[in-house]
Amino acid sequence: MQLALRRRLRLPLPLRLNRCGPSPGCGGLVDVFGDHALACPRTGLLARRAKIVERAWVRVAREAVGADGQVVPQQWLCATTAPGVAPDDRRRLDLVIYGASPMGGALCCDATLVSPLTRTGQPQPGTVADDGAMLRVAERRKRAAYPELSSGGPQRLLVLGSEIGGRWNETAQHLVRDLARVRAQRAPPALRAAATSAWTRRWWATLAVALQQAVSSTALGSPWPAPPHASQPPGPELDRVLDLAEAAGPSHGRPRQQEKGSLAEHPDQLCKYSAHAHSQARGIRDRDQLG
Ligand SMILES: [Zn+2]
């Protein structure tokens, strides 16, 4: 938390070394804001930090599809329905989600975390005038890496892009919306709007925390000591998350904007609404258990 705030406020980080490396590393000067560590490809930390966000996506997807679907981390591309892939192809996808697509196809996901700054703290080309420019570069690269997933068929490539400052690409936002819809279908009809909102907020919190853990650990030059493991129980029951529901139902805004106009501005309304939804969920669960 303190590291995330320091990054946000451009305050120096408590770094031990002033050189990158020596091994692995490029030997270059390390700045006190962590910009070098967050963009240097020579330390090996960029690939390791991606794991933290990747595992958060696996957890979110598993909570969403439950027993009706399946989430396979580190799936071989040749094990999907993508056409024209040789059986000995060694490309892997970060996660493949079955049971969340309306057409029944596999969602082949590649999670990526990019920095809009270079190793020297300078903006990457195009990022000053164009928000999310590096996300689009990453999307193009991933599409080029998996051309088979864009050549028709039931499977789809989803590049789940995020920036070290906390920005998420459109695809990531759409996926959370779709997963919340899938998860809410298993709630009683009267609670679906509240359930959608609650799961959405829970999952954005999960993803945002994972992203900041990944950023902080990389900025300090070390991998996060204990990344949350993906193979965890399928998540809490609905009545445990309904407290997170927004008063006015699910937000259609970007993750950061969801904070506005909900808990902070209408705490009474939110409490009343979630208490009502909460007791409804309990009532339905108790009735089901009795019946
Ligand atoms: Zn370096």
For 172-236, the DSSP string reads: HHHHHHHHHHHHHTTS-GGGHHHHHHHHHHHHHHHHHHHHHHHHHHHHTTS--SSPPPS---S--
Residue range 220-230: mean pLDDT, rounded: 60
Does residue 8 belong to any structural domain of this protein? Answer: no
Does residue 219 belong to any structural domain of this protein? Answer: yes
Output the pLDDT for position 39.
87
142 CA distance to ligand 1 centroid (A)? 24
User: Which residue in this structure is represented by tokens 């930090």?
Assistant: 49
Buried b / exposed e over 15-50, threshold 16 CB at 10 Å, is: beeeebeeeebbeeebbebbbbbbbbeebebbebbb
For 168-182, the DSSP string reads: B-HHHHHHHHHHHHH
95 CA distance to ligand 1 centroid (A)? 29
238 CA distance to ligand 1 centroid (A)? 45
pLDDT at 276 over 70: no
In this structure, of 15-29, 145-159, 177-191, 230-244, the range with the lowest mean pLDDT score is 230-244
Structure pTM?
A: 0.78
Cis peptide before 24 (omega within 30 of 0): yes
DSSP state of 19: B
Handedness of CA 207, 210, 215, 216 (dihedral sign): positive
287 CA distance to ligand 1 centroid (A)? 60
- Burial of 231 per CB tally in 10 Å (0-12, 13-18, 19+): exposed
6 CA distance to ligand 1 centroid (A)? 21
Does residue 31 belong to any structural domain of this protein? Answer: no
What's the token pair of residue 279?
């007791």
Which residues are CB-contacts of 107 (< 8 A; sequence separation ≥ 6)? 96, 97, 98, 100, 101, 155, 156, 158, 175
Does residue 269 belong to any structural domain of this protein? Answer: yes
244 CA distance to ligand 1 centroid (A)? 41
Rounded Cα–Cα distance for residues 106 and 118 (Å) = 35
Q: What phi, psi does 119 have (nearest 5°)? A: -60, -25
Rounded Cα–Cα distance for residues 176 and 171 (Å) = 9
Does residue 276 belong to any structural domain of this protein? Answer: yes
Domain that holds residue 84: 46-117+125-290
Rounded Cα–Cα distance for residues 147 and 137 (Å) = 16
37 CA distance to ligand 1 centroid (A)? 6
16 CA distance to ligand 1 centroid (A)? 15
Does residue 165 belong to any structural domain of this protein? Answer: yes
pLDDT at 187 over 90: yes
Output the pLDDT for position 232.
57
Rounded Cα–Cα distance for residues 185 and 179 (Å) = 10
Between 226 and 258, name the one with better pLDDT: 226
160 CA distance to ligand 1 centroid (A)? 26
Cis peptide before 22 (omega within 30 of 0): yes
Residue range 83-108: mean pLDDT, rounded: 90
Q: Domains in the chain: how many in total?
A: 1
pLDDT band at 211 (very low <50, low <70, confident <90, very high): very high
99 CA distance to ligand 1 centroid (A)? 41
53 CA distance to ligand 1 centroid (A)? 22
239 CA distance to ligand 1 centroid (A)? 47
The environment of the single-atom ion ligand 1, i.e. residues with CB closer than 5 A, is 20, 26, 28, 40, 42
What is the chain's mean pLDDT, rounded? 81
209 CA distance to ligand 1 centroid (A)? 25
Q: What is the pLDDT of residues 4-62, one digit of tens each?
A: 888 888 888 887 778 887 678 888 888 888 888 888 888 878 877 888 999 999 999 99
Output the pLDDT for position 28.
84
33 CA distance to ligand 1 centroid (A)? 14
The CA dihedral of 35, 40, 45, 48, to the nearest 10 degrees, is: 100
Does residue 241 belong to any structural domain of this protein? Answer: yes
Helices then strands, counting H and E runs in the chain, come out as 8, 4
Between 218 and 252, name the one with better pLDDT: 218
Does residue 191 belong to any structural domain of this protein? Answer: yes
pLDDT at 176 over 70: yes
Q: Quote the distance between the C-alpha of residue 171 and its chain's center.
A: 11
